[in-house]
A and B are shown apart, each in its own frame.
Chain A
């Protein structure tokens, strides 16, 4: 062994300017002063895909919240002159403003198919904040202002085309997002409550409670989820009102969802239970519920959020698959899965391919949740690296 040490290799440039190398110790010091959540945030914003995913998730939910306002028409509003109208492109002309070309319907006697011809002579103005059918914004504010629309009667603007009954696909997709995105959220929320209570108690108390809980989870988890969901939703009576079906489906989705969460949290709690601060609290005479709610739940909270986010895509996919197979939500409720029921028929799909568009929204939602959740998972443990 030689005594002369080779100089350490220069730190690889990883995006930070060279000057910051000397500041490392100061930065380190600053890092120690940060709270756990500040550290998480710092780590999270470093991941570009997670941010993009997060922004998309936010946009989707904002869209769902203001769906009635953004959608130019109501979900069941029919334009009888525009059955299966193709998507229109909104154009802009500085002297005229936003406009679309007029479309004329042609009916082919031989093939019985409807087709539309664009008439480039006539421009129809598209205005912002136009008066339309009245609705309740967020279920409370009664208004009839829509983000955009046409001012002429019986002439509509259809960004994503119309369906079999001449209903605007864009409006229906916007309104459908309310169902598709909340059903996952409510489903996850319910699994969260059941899963965290059962998972944390099971991990904390151990013994017979843990044993029973683990057997139950094992039993539910030995079912393949889609067939089990199918069996459960087939049990919903046909005559139930839509709202009740909606809640029943969320319960069905969380029937399997909670097991996953409970398993994960149990593992976490098992390791935290042995920590010294829990023992200290115990010795100081704290009750079980105090320890669970003051120490354990806050300690695993970050983990809960991650697991919840990562469970969302599965819920969204499950809802759309079930609705697509006529086992989930049913019309008049609108969800992305329900909208896809129209795309089941190949012949219709061939002539009117825009009926498949809700699928793109499902994929975008799932993709953004995956990216977002992935970033959250990496930042949930800010002390690593």
Chain B
């Protein structure tokens, strides 16, 4: 097991290196750099920034150097925890991103937990009541959940929250709690502001998990050891919950690795719609203003999160399924 984890971790290094190169190339694609977009901004507000100042700033930030040197400077800093400097925020990138990345991870994690808690019982119900009215309804709802984009659900949620219930649903706290010191009430407020986005984020994945759980359990229930268990006279509840479900859960763990990217995607878009402090809003701003080190570091860290998440999913699968472990 230990050797497997180390091998996987080492295998991530070359991929991560290639990913960083590709990230850097993509961020170099737009014509000009942050200084040109700064100049454009200055021009639109009437004032003009003179060329000398711009060139000075360029030299200061190393933007006048060849691209590959810029790249190695940026990537070299990673080993010392220095991810470059954000032009727009005038602060080191490392100070800016950690909270945002943490929030994206927290939101995805809550969402993942909710997804599992909801999907497994529903999947069991659907499989044990195959083709019943409830099963058909849940299957249809599942398809619906897969089809409605999460940014739309976010919009609808915002709309309902504000106009039907009259509560603010954007941001991490309601406006009256924003400046308040930490208290239990504020904690509840934050939980409330995170829980619903997490549910919205999980809807698509939930639908997917329900379908997988249903078909996996149906397959297991048809196997001979289940018939044996039934023939022994075990209660149906025991047969399903102790014999079948435990095995049927395996495919759910193996799709976890595939669902993580969707969660990260959703957290990005939903963060923008609901103005949550996830990576989304800051990342988009960094992209449009060509604040390249900030945008690049975000992208690289999101990749890293995905890779680690995949690794964790694989470890979890090997842990629950001895057939994989001893192969």
Residues on A facing B (Cβ under 8 Å) = 215, 218-220, 222-228, 230-232, 234-237, 313, 317, 320-321, 324-325, 327, 340, 343, 346, 349-350, 353, 356, 359, 362-363, 366-367, 370-371
Shortest Cβ distance from residue B266 to the other chain A in the assembled complex, whole angstroms: 8
**Interface residue B244 (Cβ < 8 Å from any Cβ of A):** no
Question: Known: A230-B287, A350-B159. Contact between A222 and B269, CB under 8 A?
Answer: no
Given the known interface contacts A215-B18, A235-B26, the answer about A222 and B31 at a Cβ–Cβ threshold of 8 Å is: no
B272 at the interface (CB under 8 A from A): yes
- Given the complex, which residues of B lie within 8 Å of A349, measured CB to CB? 155, 159
Segment 5-23 of B: residues with Cβ below 8 Å from A: 14-16, 18-19, 22-23
> Could you say which of A226, A228, A325, A370 contacts B147, with CB atoms under 8 Å apart?
A370
Q: Which residues of B contact A (CB under 8 A)?
A: 14-16, 18-19, 22-23, 26-27, 29-31, 143-144, 146-149, 151-152, 155-156, 158-159, 162-163, 261, 264-265, 268-269, 272, 279, 283-284, 287-288, 295, 298-299, 302-303, 306-307
Contact indicator A321/B159 (Cβ below 8 Å): no
- A227 with B19: CB separation less than 8 A: no
A317-B159 contact, Cβ under 8 Å, with A218-B15, A227-B298: no
Nearest CB in chain A: distance from B98 CB, A = 17
Residues of A contacting B146 in the complex (Cβ-Cβ under 8 angstroms) = 313, 366, 370
Q: Please state if B155 and A222 are interface contacts (CB–CB under 8 Å).
A: no
Chain B residues closer than 8 Å to A234, beta-carbon distance:
30, 284, 287-288
A145 to B295, CA, bound (A): 50
B290 to A, closest residue via Cβ: A234
Instruction: Say whether B149 contacts A317, CB under 8 Å.
Output: yes
Contact A231 B27 (CB under 8 A): yes
CB-defined A-B contacts under 8 Å, sample of 24: A219-B15, A223-B22, A223-B302, A224-B306, A225-B265, A226-B268, A227-B279, A227-B283, A231-B287, A231-B299, A232-B26, A237-B31, A313-B146, A324-B151, A325-B151, A340-B152, A346-B159, A356-B155, A363-B147, A363-B149, A366-B146, A366-B147, A366-B148, A367-B144
Q: Name the distance in Å between B99's Cβ and chain A's nearest Cβ.
A: 18
Which 6 A/B pairs are nearest by Cβ-Cβ distance?
Answer: A235-B29, A226-B265, A234-B287, A367-B147, A366-B147, A224-B264
Q: Is the CB of A363 within 8 A of B148?
A: yes
The residues of A that contact B261 with a CB separation of less than 8 Å are: 224-225
How many angstroms between the C-alpha atoms of A228 and B23 in the bound complex? Answer: 9
Which B residues lie within 8 Å of A356 (CB)?
155-156, 159
A343 to B14, alpha carbons, bound, how many Å?
43
A237 CA to B290 CA, complexed, in Å = 12
